[in-house]
Structure 1
Amino acid sequence: MRRFLSNIHWGDKLIDILVVVLGITIAFALNNWRENRQNAKLEQQYLRNLKEDLVKDSVGLDYSISHADEIFFSIERIQRLAGQSSNADSIYVYLGAIGDDNLLIFKPEDYSYSTMQQTGNITLIETDSIRRNLSQLYDTYELLEMQTDFAFKYQFDRLFTYYYNYDFQSQTTVDDQMYLTSNFRNTIRFYSSNLKERRRLMREALLKIRSLLHSIDQELDE
Structure 2
Amino acid sequence: MKKINWLDHLANLLVVILGITIAFYLESYKAEANNKAQEQKYLESLIKDLETDIEALDTLQQVNRMISNSIVTLSEATTGKPYKDNTQVRNDILTIQYNPPFVPQRTVYESIKSSGQIDKISDFEIRNEVIELYEQYYRGTNQYDEALNEHVRDFIKPYFMKNIRFTSRSTVADDFLRDAEFQNMIYAYRFLFTAKDEFYGEVKKRVEGVKEKLEEYLRKF
TM class by shorter chain equals: 0.7 to 0.9
Note closer, same or farther for the CA distance 1:167–1:66 as it changes in structure 2 (3 Å cut): same
Counterpart CA distance in 1 for 2:122 and 2:151 is 43
Q: Gaps (5+ residues) in structure 1?
A: none
Structure with more of its chain in helix, by fraction: 1
Which residue, 208, 218, 221 being the options, matches 1:220? 218
Counterpart CA distance in 2 for 1:177 and 1:203 is 35
How many residue pairs are counted as aligned between the two chains? 215
Q: Is the 8 A contact 1:50 1:112 kept in 2?
A: yes
Task: State the secondary structure of the residue aligned to 2:98.
Answer: helix
Is 1:188 aligned to residue 186 of structure 2?
A: yes
User: What residue number does 1:155 align with?
Assistant: 152
Deviation, 1:181, is 2.0
Letter of the 1:199 partner, please give it: D
User: What residue number does 1:14 align with?
Assistant: 10
Note closer, same or farther for the CA distance 1:168–1:21 as it changes in structure 2 (3 Å cut): farther
TM-score when scaled to structure 2?
A: 0.87
**Among the aligned pairs, what percent are the same residue?**
24
Larger Rg: 1
Q: Is the 8 A contact 1:108 1:141 kept in 2?
A: yes
Which residue, 101, 109, 113 being the options, matches 1:113? 109
Counterpart CA distance in 1 for 2:35 and 2:124 is 16
Q: Is the 8 A contact 1:92 1:163 kept in 2?
A: no
Deviation, 1:178, is 3.0
TM-score when scaled to structure 1?
A: 0.86
Counterpart CA distance in 2 for 1:83 and 1:202 is 29
User: What residue number does 1:178 align with?
Assistant: 176
Is 1:167 aligned to residue 166 of structure 2?
A: yes
User: What residue number does 1:99 align with?
Assistant: 97
Pairwise CA RMSD: 2.4
Counterpart CA distance in 1 for 2:191 and 2:67 is 12
User: What residue number does 2:27 align with?
Assistant: 31
Single out whichever of 64-73 and 160-169 deviates more from structure 2: 160-169
Counterpart CA distance in 1 for 2:78 and 2:166 is 19
Deviation, 1:172, is 4.9
